[in-house]
Structure formats: structure tokens, C-alpha cells
A and B are shown apart, each in its own frame.
Chain A
Amino acid sequence: MLYRQGNAVTSPDPARAANGVRVDHLLVADMVSPGSRVLDVGCGDGELLQLLERRGVDGRGIEISREGVNASVAKGLAVVQGDADTDLGDYPNDAFDYVVLTQTLQATRRPREVLEHMLRIGRHAIVSFPNFGHWSIRLGLLFGGKMPRTKNLPDTWYTTQNIHFCTIKDFRDLCGDVGAKMERAVAVNFWGKPLRLPAPWWFWNFFGEQAVFLLSRKDQ
């Protein structure tokens, strides 16, 4: 997801691994089986799609900003301009093996409908999102008394595109409400390291700075 501020496009800066690749992108890429068909919703400048295509994935993308679309197409990627809230309805059922949404769910107007469309269009859905239950955000609100701003979520409440923040626990509840099966879930800590220990949900919800979920339909 790219953010418009005037004409310039800036993006929030989620944690990156030593080789410069976004940590959530690496986690998503590891959840996708090679040779599959993937739709990346809100693909930005095509960074994840490029990573996936290098791994033999047939990737497509939708991006809302013209700058992001043009940058993606200039990389030879199959990306079209579109809005996750309004344009997913144009895609037929089961068109993809995976539908991916990285750091974008919280910026959609109807997150539940977007998630339902993802599970309809793809056999699997992969969602990464910033966790608003992270300790730094809880402490920010508790002691600062203001809407929390962090390194990865630097915008003020009146400039942010993120209108539907959620915590890991909230997202788990939404998965239940839309009838999604959670196949894998990974939380990433403040330093961009996946929390690999088997831990209770409250622990992930407190120490996970962002999370990546692999979902499928319950009826499968």
C-alpha cells in the first residue's frame, strides 16, 4: 500500500531483513508454493511480486496509486490500477491460488468485505498487518494520552490512511466471523524477527509488532 501525501508517494517503513527485503514479504513468499498463481492486492511498486516471480510464481497485482502501478508495470509485472474496496468484485471465484494483502487491510474502508472477497477469489488468503496491540502502542496511549505514533506507523491521526487498525486478537476474531481457517500465523517482533516460539495469543498480541496470517476457506 502506498500513501499519497500531496503528489509524493511515501510508504510506511516496515522492518526489513539484512538483505533489504521486507520481513513480511519474506514470510509471505515462504507461505506461497512455487508455480502457483498469486494476486497481490495493494502491491505498491511491485516489490513483493518481483520477489515472488523470481521464485517461479505467476503473479498479478492491483494498486490504487498511479505512481505504484506505473513503477510495477515498468518492472515487467502484470499490475492494474484498482481499489481493493471496489474492484475485487470483478474477479471470478477461484481465479488464484493465493490472494495477498500486505499492510493494506487497515487502510481499506470495509476490511471484512475485502477479506471475504480474497477468500472467494483465491483458495488461500495471506494477510500481513501492523498489530495495534503491540506494547509500544499500548504504552504510547497509556502514558502519552495521544494516538500512538511509531517508527513503522509515523502518521498523525488526521493524515493516516490507516482507518481500521486492529490487533492480532481482533484479526483472529474476524477470521472466525468470516469462516476462515487459520493455517499459519506468524508474529514479528520490534526488531523484525519472527516470534517462532509456540506462544499463547496474548503473548503474540503484546510482543508482535506485525503479523502474517495464512488463511483458507473452512469448507475446503
Chain B
Amino acid sequence: MLANAFKDVKTRFCVVSFTSDWLFPTVESRAIVHALNATSARVSFAEIVTDKGHDAFLLDEPEFLTIVRAFLGSAGKARGLAGH
């Protein structure tokens, strides 16, 4: 079971999927999120609407960038790093 792989994990997770990504579709990302939830890991999950397909994560997707920035910022804050 996937959830066993994440048992007692202290890592903070952020899973992001793109609606037009056929290589890693949202349903698979959601399975990872379910497994993380089942172990009470700290996980954020967002799906970004885009027509740029699998490479969307390399391109300028403002919503995606906002989420990554906020996630890294809050993770840094939680680990005692100064503001970003």
C-alpha cells in the first residue's frame, strides 16, 4: 500500500497537477495525496487549469508560481528561515 511508504514522515508536501498533463494526470496525483492524508502527513494539493500540457511546470504559469512561492515560503518559515 502506498500509504505505508509515507508512514511517520515529517516532510511537508505540495502536490501540483496540470489539467492538460497526460503523462501525470490529476487522478494519479490525487492517489498520492490520499496516501499522504492517510498517514496524516502535511500535504497541499492544487490542480492548475492550463493548456500547456506536461511541460506547464517549466513555463510561466502565474497561479503555479504563486503556489510554489507560498509553499516554499511557509515551509522555510516553519523551519526557522528568515522571510523570503
The CA of A73 and the CA of B63, in the complex, are separated in Å by 10
Please tell me which one of the listed residues B38, B67, B75 contacts residue A74 in the complex, with CB atoms under 8 A apart.
B67
Number of interface residues, chain A, beta carbon within 8 A: 22
Task: Count A/B pairs, Cβ under 8 Å.
Answer: 61
Whether A92 contacts B38 by the Cβ 8 Å rule is yes
When distances are taken between beta carbons in the complex, the residues of chain B under 8 Å from A58 are 42
Whether B38 contacts A78 by the Cβ 8 Å rule is no
- B-side binding surface: helix, strand, loop or mixed? helix
Whether A60 contacts B14 by the Cβ 8 Å rule is no
Number of interface residues, chain B, beta carbon within 8 A: 25
- Since A66-B46, A74-B63, A95-B40 are in contact, a sample of 15 more A-B pairs with Cβ atoms closer than 8 Å, ordered by chain A residue number, is A60-B42, A60-B43, A70-B46, A70-B48, A73-B44, A74-B67, A76-B74, A76-B75, A77-B74, A78-B12, A78-B42, A80-B44, A81-B30, A90-B38, A91-B38
Chain A residues at the B interface, C-beta cutoff of 8 Å: 37, 58, 60, 66, 69-70, 72-81, 87, 90-92, 95-96
